[in-house]
Amino acid sequence: MLNFKNVLLISGSGRNVGKTLLACRIIEENKLHLLTSIKIAGHLHQLQTPLEILIQEEDWLVGREVGDNDKDSGRYYSAGSSLVYYVQMRDGAMTKFLNWFEKNINQHSPVIIESASIGDFIQPGLAIYVQDENPSKKCRWEFNYMTVNTINGQLPIELPQIILKNQIWQTVK
């Protein structure tokens, strides 16, 4: 398992549980730090909004957001992330993505990744699992993580503050 102390990983128990809302809140609170944000979709589908395509192969795609839009990655851009990537991949392409990530993303700069599957391959500096009142799946991570419980996709009023200290993600209560 690869260790990335500069990565904040966000995943969740299903769709519309508040993962992107949480990521955007964290980006807004830390946007002075030149954040890189990555949304990983575990499937390939037709792109609906313009992206600067960096890699496009049969089993995976990496694009850089060029403006705000209604996609999750576009919302990261609107929240203040400096660089935003949108990744689509089929099962089995994670190794290709991780090779790209190690070569192209500064390992000393803060990164937020929203992904259901990357937690099986990396050890992030901080991990958050978002679940609603009726979670459709359980978290299977083998490392420590924080759970955020939402109701109808809305974040709780009181959340621990998530900050960067020496380029490492930390929680402050």
Least confident of 22-26, 45-49, 106-110: 45-49
Kindly tell me if the per-residue pLDDT of 45 is higher than 90.
no
pLDDT at 4: 94
Phi-psi category of residue 133: left, alpha or beta, with phi > 0 → left and psi -120 to 50 → alpha = alpha
47-62: string of b/e by CB count within 10 Å (b at 16+)?
Answer: eeeebeeeeeeeebbb
How much is the pTM?
Answer: 0.93
Give the pLDDT band of residue 24 (cuts 50, 70, 90): very high
pLDDT at 47: 73
pLDDT at 166: 86
Full strand arrangement of the beta sheet holding 36-41 = 51-56, 60-65, 83-89, 36-41, 111-114, 2-12, 122-131, 146-149
Give the pLDDT band of residue 167 (cuts 50, 70, 90): confident
SS3 call for 5: strand
SS3 call for 129: strand
Kindly tell me if the per-residue pLDDT of 15 is higher than 90.
no
